[in-house]
């Protein structure tokens, strides 16, 4: 069977969605299926709306037996701020409901654009595609034309939307993932694969049929994130006391700003813990770090992108992992920490409360609650027995249900025609 995956960023781009499709794709190939990935040429997400960011120039490639076709992005000749302006306009138009759907579809494809997409979809190479799997409902510029093409051909359409739910009771984040045209696309899909039951419940409330939605989650390959040398990491970065680790994008929505503020509170109270942040910085975070006092800067290690060896070493060295984010539909980094027996702190936002169980395998705080984050960090640094118990519970759960092999077993039936006939019949 020939399967088309539509993923806006793909390997080697550092994207959670890319990793999700990479893991699924290579397992489909191992079972004898052909998998083609349609991706953009973006390496950095911001390349979709901003010039000067990294891209992947090779139009054709292969990885893990999966064929990769990359199409170049074209943007309107305007400042990068045009993109968020258009998206905000779409949110406001979405208040009109279903009558706004045609206009929203047109606005979604104004910028960025994939000028070579129609020619790609007309290529005879795709003539035998049997299933289309799309993703990232908020990056709908790529989904809308592909879904229209699949519908004309009568192909089953599976969508993993990665809806970011944001804070409970607030539409500030989720409104960009639940505009009328986006919900309409999901309602017309054959299957919708969600990260958590929280995401599934939200989509059901917004009119997507319950029988269409299957929670598959995300996973980790434990062998790839364990075995690091914690002592080597500490020696290289001159860390001798407690180590608090954060991975991924340093940004407000990820809770990075709040984590730093919490650490400053603890330092003011006499803590000698060092905070390590690995990942790219957005939204003025670098300037925030630069404004710290010399004593505070001595307790911060902002490393930016790191290679896999450094990442494993950091995880092996960590005493606890902190990511109080409101924009995680799942949060794979919690699993990476658990694989190393490291307890985690997350926020009661997004899909995280379905992943991190408060008091069982981690602690949860309210998003943006700096005193609450500081108290949780301090508690786990002081109560090492609790920290070890939470980390051990997380590690056991990963091996039980949160590996990529387990994820594949949950999503695999959605690709199989007989499964669709059974469930629909």
| Mean pLDDT, residues 170-189 taken together | 97
Q: Is the pLDDT of residue 56 over 90?
A: yes
- How far, in Å, are 20, 52, 177 from residue 423 at the CA level? 24, 47, 27
Check pLDDT > 60 for residue 374: yes
Has residue 280 got a pLDDT over 90?
A: no
69 pairs with which residues across the strands? 38, 60
Domain 2-219+404-424 belongs to what topology? Rossmann fold (3.40.50)
Q: Is 126 exposed, middle or buried (0-12, 13-18, 19+ CB in 10 A)?
A: middle
Confidence check: pLDDT of 425 > 50: no
Q: Give the list of residues 6+ apart from residue 366 with CB closer than 8 angstroms, or none.
A: 347, 348, 372
- The two domains 2-219+404-424 and 222-401 share their CATH topology (first three levels equal): yes
Max avg pLDDT among 180-184, 294-298, 417-421 = 180-184
Q: What are phi and psi of 323, to 5 degrees?
A: -150, 80
Residue 283 confidence (pLDDT) above 80: no
In this model, does residue 345 exceed pLDDT 80?
Answer: yes
What confidence tier does 424 reach under pLDDT thresholds 50, 70, 90? very low
Q: Is the pLDDT of residue 312 over 50?
A: yes
pLDDT tens-digit readout, 57-67: 999 999 999 99
Structure tokens given for 160: 């993993």
The percentage of the chain sitting over the pLDDT mark of 70, rounded to a whole number, equals 98
pLDDT, average across residues 32-49: 96
pLDDT average, residue stretch 394-410: 96
When pLDDT is cut at 50, 70 and 90, the band that residue 416 belongs to is confident
Domain ranges of the chain: 2-219+404-424, 222-401
- State pLDDT tens for residues 95-106: 999 999 999 999
Q: If DSSP codes are grouped into helix, strand and coil, which group holds residue 321?
A: strand
Q: Which fold has domain 222-401?
A: Rossmann fold (3.40.50)
How much is the mean pLDDT over the chain? 95
Residue 26 pLDDT greater than 70, yes or no: yes
The model's confidence at residue 193, banded by pLDDT at 50, 70 and 90, is very high
Confidence band of 14 (pLDDT split at 50, 70, 90): confident
Non-local (6+) Cβ contacts of 193 within 8 A are 158, 159, 160, 213, 214, 215, 216, 411, 414
Q: How confident is the model at residue 417 (pLDDT cuts 50, 70, 90)?
A: low
- What mean pLDDT is predicted for residues 163-173? 94
Find the mean pLDDT for residues 121-128.
Answer: 96
């Amino acid at each position: 069977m020939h399967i088309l995956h539509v993923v806006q960023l793909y390997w080697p781009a550092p994207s959670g969605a890319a990793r999700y499709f990479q893991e699924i794709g290579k397992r489909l190939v191992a079972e004898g299926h052909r998998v083609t990935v349609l991706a953009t040429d973006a390496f950095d997400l911001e390349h979709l709306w901003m010039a000067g960011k990294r891209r992947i120039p090779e139009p054709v490639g292969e990885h893990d037996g999966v064929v990769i076709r990359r199409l170049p992005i074209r943007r309107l000749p305007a400042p990068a701020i045009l993109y968020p302006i258009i998206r905000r306009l779409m949110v406001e138009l979405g208040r009109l409901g279903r009558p706004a759907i045609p206009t929203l579809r047109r606005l979604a494809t104004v910028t960025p654009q994939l000028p070579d997409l129609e020619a790609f979809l007309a290529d005879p190479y795709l003539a035998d595609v049997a299933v289309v799997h799309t993703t990232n409902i908020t990056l709908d510029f790529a989904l809308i034309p592909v879904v229209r093409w699949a519908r004309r051909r009568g192909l089953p359409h599976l969508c993993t939307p990665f809806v970011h739910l944001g804070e409970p009771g607030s539409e500030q984040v989720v409104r960009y993932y639940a505009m009328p045209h986006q919900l309409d696309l999901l309602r017309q899909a054959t299957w919708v694969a969600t990260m958590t039951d929280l995401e599934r419940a939200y989509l059901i409330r917004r009119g997507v049929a319950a029988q269409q939605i299957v929670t598959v989650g995300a996973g980790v390959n434990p062998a790839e994130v364990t075995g690091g040398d914690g002592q080597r990491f500490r020696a290289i970065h001159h860390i001798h006391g407690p180590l608090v680790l954060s991975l991924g994008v340093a940004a407000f929505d990820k809770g990075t700003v709040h984590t730093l503020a919490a650490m400053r509170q603890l330092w003011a109270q006499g803590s000698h813990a060092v905070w390590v942040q690995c990942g790219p910085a957005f939204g003025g975070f670098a300037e925030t770090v630069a404004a710290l006092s010399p004593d505070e800067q001595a307790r911060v290690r902002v490393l930016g992108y790191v290679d896999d060896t450094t990442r494993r070493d950091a995880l092996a060295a960590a005493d606890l992992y902190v990511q109080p984010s409101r924009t995680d539909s799942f949060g794979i980094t919690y699993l990476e920490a658990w694989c190393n027996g490291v307890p985690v702190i997350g926020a009661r936002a997004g899909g995280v409360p379905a992943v991190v169980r408060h008091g069982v395998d981690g602690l949860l705080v309210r998003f943006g609650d700096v005193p609450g984050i500081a108290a949780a960090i301090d508690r786990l640094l002081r109560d090492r027995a609790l920290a070890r118990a939470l980390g051990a519970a997380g590690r056991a759960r990963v091996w039980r249900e949160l590996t990529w092999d387990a994820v594949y077993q949950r999503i695999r039936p959605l690709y199989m025609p007989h499964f669709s006939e059974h469930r629909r019949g």
